[in-house]
Amino acid sequence: MDARRLGSLVRAVRIRKGLRQLDVAGSAGVSRATVSRFESGNVGRLSLDTIDRIAAVVDVRTEILGRWQGGDGDRLLNWRHSLLADSFSAAARAHDGWLFEPEVSFSIYGERGVIDQLGWHELRSHLLVVELKTEFVDINEMLGTLNRKLRLAPRVAADKGWRPKVVSVWLIVADTRTNRRHAARHWSLLRSRFSLDGRSLSAFLDNPVAATFGMAFWTDVRPVNITKEATRILTRVRAPKPTAGPDSGRRDGRTHAAKPDLTGGSAAKPDPTRPTPGLGLGRPPAPASIEHRLRPPTGRHNQPRTERSSST
């Protein structure tokens, strides 16, 4: 976000709308001095909520765009989506008659978007719109976007020479606990839109006759595997620490070279009364003598109390 450009844009729109800084401050719930600092580009101490409220008064939308090492940031965010797309495409191609094209973009009368997977079955003249989701963000917005893709899919297919008679829509969601929890919260809304679940997906791909609307949790891309892969790629691999076995010769915090075997391969039986050498146990303490155990304690506080004799 360019703070100086954003402040200049808000000021220009405010003047064009005929508003004063005091008017904007009253609508945004801030002081006039805050609006003045904002228009000057001094937004260092302002919260993101304050910036959004000031800009919203004059119908200016704010966006914070993060970039990391060129395009590596986008690849880092979208790699889970790519894994899900590859897994579904490989499983769907196992069914005869299907042709899938990934990331099909369209722009029809100002409506733009990308269809994640567009499937075509030549024998049945069946068109399949596949929406892939690694996580639920806004279900209402997702359903609206999916309806728009369903409406424009026949025109997108016509550009490829396909003449579909039937159009189906399937929502493929990564099987995670978070996604299942969000789906349970909006179950009535999702069930009203998607009448079939993942148990019907394979039968539909085998015999795509009627139009279907379904949602399936895809379990081939598990979050455990994704986490391990991300850890392997994104973190520095450290060499494992050497573990000391019972015969490694590690004692007193130091590693000593193993002594040569002079017994000719015949090991003596260990004595259970003596500690095993090389484990850092040291010598057993010598038993206290009887004289030491019977010795009376010393010290000023341990002296027996004696009664002071009174002089007569």
Same domain, 185 and 87: yes
Q: Do 98 and 107 touch, CB atoms closer than 8 A?
A: no
Residue 173 lies in a domain: yes
Same domain, 11 and 140: no
If you search the block for the tokens 């303490």, which residue do you land on? 285
Same domain, 122 and 207: yes
Same domain, 170 and 126: yes
CA distances from 60 to 12, 40, 195, 207 (A): 11, 16, 40, 50
Residue 303 lies in a domain: no
Question: How many domains does the chain fold into?
Answer: 2
Residue 247 lies in a domain: no
Same domain, 52 and 78: no
Buried b (16+ CB within 10 A) or exposed e, 255-275: eeeeeeeeeeeeeeeeeeeee
Residue 281 lies in a domain: no
Pair type for strands 111-121 and 126-133: antiparallel
Same domain, 125 and 48: no
**What type of residue sits at position 233?**
I
How would residue 137 be classed by pLDDT, with cut points 50, 70 and 90?
Answer: confident
Q: Give the mean model confidence (pLDDT) for residues 37-66.
A: 86
Asked if pLDDT for residue 278 goes beyond 90, the answer is no
Specify the range with the lowest mean pLDDT, choosing from 132-141, 235-244, 268-277. Answer: 235-244
Same domain, 84 and 45: no
The domain of 30 spans: 3-57
User: pLDDT exceeding 90 applies to what percent of the chain?
Assistant: 35
Give the pLDDT score at 19: 92
> Contacts from 20-29 at CB under 8 Å and sequence distance 24+?
24/54, 24/57, 24/58, 27/57, 28/53, 28/54, 28/56, 28/57, 29/53
Give the pLDDT score at 154: 93
Mean pLDDT (the chain, rounded): 76
Count of other CB atoms within 10 angstroms of residue 223: 16
Q: Do 129 and 150 touch, CB atoms closer than 8 A?
A: yes
Asked if pLDDT for residue 120 goes beyond 50, the answer is yes
Same domain, 144 and 23: no
Please, which residues bridge with residue 174 across strands?
218
